[in-house]
A and B are shown apart, each in its own frame.
Chain A
């Protein structure tokens, strides 16, 4: 349970990119403001501000959530992953990041953090997704630049790479 102090502030504890984290915040603070403004983690990008475009997607217990429309108190006890937590501690890229980089599955890059997290969640749920499954999942996020084909191919490449890694 989160603690509510006399001045209405909240103490919220959760796991952020693998590390136990406790923040003092207010009841109206949304996760995107917490990350970007309070914690200086700018990789989570806000665009539409109303849960539609998916640019600000973060993973909460492994599933995508719109950080712009999630209250910080909703994170209590949850496991949160942002784009900053996707690469390895040695700076090595995750297979999804590598696939996006190799496929040029981005242009302006503003949707990319959200797309990569969405793809990670998708591949966790469906390690061997068919095209329809990929389309169904990534249709929750908007990319205004690529026309999506290269993103779909990057997700397919990432699935193969993860499988190859697991098999090796």
Chain B
């Protein structure tokens, strides 16, 4: 399917397909939707980290003005077949059944005519709790004396893994999942000149997507379900709803309008099951819109403790790595098993090793459930791995850049046994960011400050495991193109990029392509909008659908004109045959009759199953982010000033350069926030900064003095026209690159995030004394 012709739509400086809707405010999000007779849902949340629910009295709330339904866990059985959900492990109740497991756990819900009435009714519900010991973090949950958060472990599944990978459910107390990957023989450690053991801690962030968790759900007569929701994976959500309510999937319509940000949080059930319960109870449509404070209590990134043991030769050649990672999964498993899989698998980063043995465990604690977050385990792994690589280089007296170059997996070389070949020249990317910050040639620092440089490479498998994607392209008689696929426009620009692919193949301007609204009843199947998979996985399905239509059109025209398909070209719904131009509409009317016709092409893509690959499919592509940092540290205060941050991603081929640039820069700034200040702060099990005023995210004023993003197009990607996925890669290397630069500047190593002035100063003082 190679395209030799010059590209007319792909890579061209054209406006995003959603530009007009978004700059005029006309774009519609789930939060904007309403239905006649709609009720509003609000939930009562647990004030305790861990408690038995003794009794819930709703008698006053039941009769308050405007109240149409009050739901509690014990009453759910009347309305729901299976009141729990989760990815691998079904452990999260729609409403607490007999126990609450974190501050914010949902205990009761009210549907009322207005949100204010619903809130008033919540205040009238009386719950009696019997407090149980809290497990505020990994150490507490693993303590010998700690109680089990789930005395009877909920059921779950372990997916099939390939060579070297395995996992266990509930391997020990309060651990719901443990993933292990191993390759090579451990005895290679014996031949190493040095073995270094280091421990790293990773703080957790909230996604802080600006559009809240929100849905508008309606349980229609005849047990038909309609849900519009701000969601990243409508088809898996449909499957969960079908299971929870025991309703056939063909009676469920999940619709997804524009989504106002997700960054991973909007995968799987959030507001939807509860809104459906309330709709079923009342026979009315129910809107459940959480506040931002509630979002903080719903899903977060995984905090982590990462222990690395790395064997190395005196010349800097990496030999072996063992790792033990503990993820703070919060109160419910959510996507923790999947994150564990990725954190465990990605812990070696972009380097070659003879032996790897990596274990990652998901520890349940009485805090907000942790779930998918941009980078998905790769952020945690990169923080530890890229910090330790620098530490080892400095201990051996080797330049950290040289050490990286020495050990990088080469272009096309399989990353691990059974894996696909790496599809970027990683040395090239490293050279670009190093040059952009003037690596090694330190500029003068201000008095009292010391200057330092740091580099890091983020590396993750991209495109997801077990992601089948289908797409359909329809073209009407007049040449109007319909693109139907399940990729959610969440801001990443998928509508534009996928429409560009179709326009390019059909020789049409972008404006001719309409990306149809997503409805699981009519949109072809897709696993979800995650893992940077849209352009490489869905992109290939879309490409095939468009090529199918093009081939059908050319075949028809060739037969009509009495010539060979090879002699024809399709351009703006006109057939070019040498110097002749034949508009298609009259030909179609002639061939198919006066009512016209619609050409339909279907496309499908799934990375082939392969038991030799550790995760059962070879990685679709490799998502790589390079970062270089030039900073100064004030030795008196520990303050860090970033002079230059240069990041680079490889788009393979940029379908839309500004969209790629925006993805890389947005990801890098999220990484910068994580590095410098952004974190959820807990006092025991209580989140104390779970709202916008207290939770600090990067603002424009937090931009480094110089912020450069370098877009590479190395053209080795598997997607259409050589494209690769984007959007997570440049987040990964930023925190370790900054920590590495701090060590370069002041000789101290910070192993905990974020890199606050307090931590830096404490390390400086400790080193001086």
Contacts and interface: CB of A to CB of B under 8 A. Distances in A.
Interface of A: 36, 42-50, 52-53, 55, 82-84, 86-87, 93, 97-98, 100-104, 106-113, 116, 134-136, 138-139, 142, 144-152
A145 B692 contact: no
Contacts of B211: 45, 47, 108, 110
Nearest to A138: B700
A78 to B, nearest CB: 20
Given A104-B15, A108-B259, A144-B210, 12 more contacts: A42-B25, A52-B693, A82-B25, A104-B493, A110-B211, A112-B22, A144-B666, A145-B261, A146-B662, A147-B664, A147-B709, A148-B703
Contact of A145 (B24, B666, B693, B700): B666
Nearest to A150: B662
A45 B23 CA distance: 13
A106 B210 CA distance: 13
Contacts of B260: 45, 47, 108-110
A55 B210 contact: yes
A23 to B, nearest CB: 18
B701 A135 contact: yes
Contacts of A113: 25
B598 interface: no
B662 A45 contact: no
Contacts of B668: 147
Nearest to A91: B24
Contacts of B108: none
A104 B492 contact: no
A135 B703 contact: yes
Contacts of B666: 107, 144-147
B425 interface: no
Interface in B1-43: 15-16, 18-29, 31-32
B700 A152 contact: yes
B721 interface: no
A67 to B, nearest CB: 12
A115 to B, nearest CB: 10
A82 B24 CA distance: 10
27 contacts: A36-B32, A43-B25, A44-B25, A45-B29, A48-B691, A49-B292, A50-B693, A53-B692, A55-B210, A100-B19, A100-B23, A104-B659, A108-B211, A108-B261, A109-B27, A112-B23, A112-B25, A138-B700, A139-B701, A145-B261, A145-B662, A146-B665, A147-B666, A147-B667, A147-B669, A148-B669, A152-B700
Nearest to B699: A139
B15 to A, nearest CB: 5
B640 interface: no
Nearest to A107: B491
Interface string B320-349: 000000000000000000000000000000
A145 to B, nearest CB: 5
Given A93-B24, A101-B16, A104-B658, A52 B692 contact: yes
Nearest to A83: B25
B692 A116 contact: no
B263 interface: yes
Contacts of A116: 23
B217 interface: no
A98 B663 CA distance: 20
Across the A-B interface, give the 8 residue pairs with the lowest CB-CB distance, nearest first: A43-B25, A108-B491, A147-B665, A110-B260, A107-B491, A83-B25, A109-B22, A48-B692
Nearest to A46: B31
- Interface band, chain B: 35 or more
B210 A104 contact: no
A101 B658 CA distance: 11
Contacts of A144: 207-210, 261, 263, 666, 670, 697
Contacts, number: 163
Nearest to B659: A104
B121 interface: no
Interface in B666-682: 666-670
Contact of A110 (B19, B21, B210, B701): B210
B707 interface: yes
A72 B207 CA distance: 31
B194 to A, nearest CB: 39
Contacts of A84: 24-25
B573 interface: no
B20 A101 contact: yes
B491 A87 contact: no
Contacts of A87: 24
B26 A53 contact: no
B202 interface: no
A47 B210 contact: yes
A109 B26 CA distance: 10
Nearest to A110: B260
Interface string B425-442: 000000000000000000
B212 interface: yes
A114 to B, nearest CB: 10
B490 interface: yes
Given A43-B24, A107-B491, A144-B263, A49 B291 contact: yes
B661 interface: yes
B29 A135 contact: no
Nearest to A112: B22
Contacts of B492: 107
A149 B665 CA distance: 8
B258 interface: yes
A98 B493 CA distance: 18
A109 B700 contact: no
A151 B701 CA distance: 13
Nearest to A98: B23
B658 A45 contact: no
A155 B259 CA distance: 25
A81 B661 CA distance: 31
- Chain A CB within 10 Å, residue with most, of B28, B32, B212, B692: B692
Contact of A107 (B291, B493, B701): B493
A108 B259 CA distance: 7
Nearest to B669: A147
B626 to A, nearest CB: 16
B514 to A, nearest CB: 18
Nearest to A44: B25
Nearest to A102: B15
Given A43-B26, A50-B691, A109-B258, A101 B19 contact: yes
Contacts of B661: 104, 150
A144 B656 CA distance: 20
A97 B255 CA distance: 28
B699 A142 contact: yes
A149 to B, nearest CB: 5
B76 to A, nearest CB: 29
Nearest to A93: B23
A122 to B, nearest CB: 12
Contacts of A148: 665, 669, 699-700, 703
A104 B700 contact: no
Given A48-B692, A49-B292, A108 B258 contact: yes
Given A43-B24, A136-B701, A101 B15 contact: yes
Contacts of B15: 101-102, 104
Nearest to B263: A144
A107 B207 CA distance: 15
Contacts of B691: 48, 50
Interface string B253-265: 0000011110100
Nearest to A97: B23
A104 B493 CA distance: 9
Nearest to A140: B699
B66 to A, nearest CB: 15
Contacts of B709: 147, 149
A93 to B, nearest CB: 7
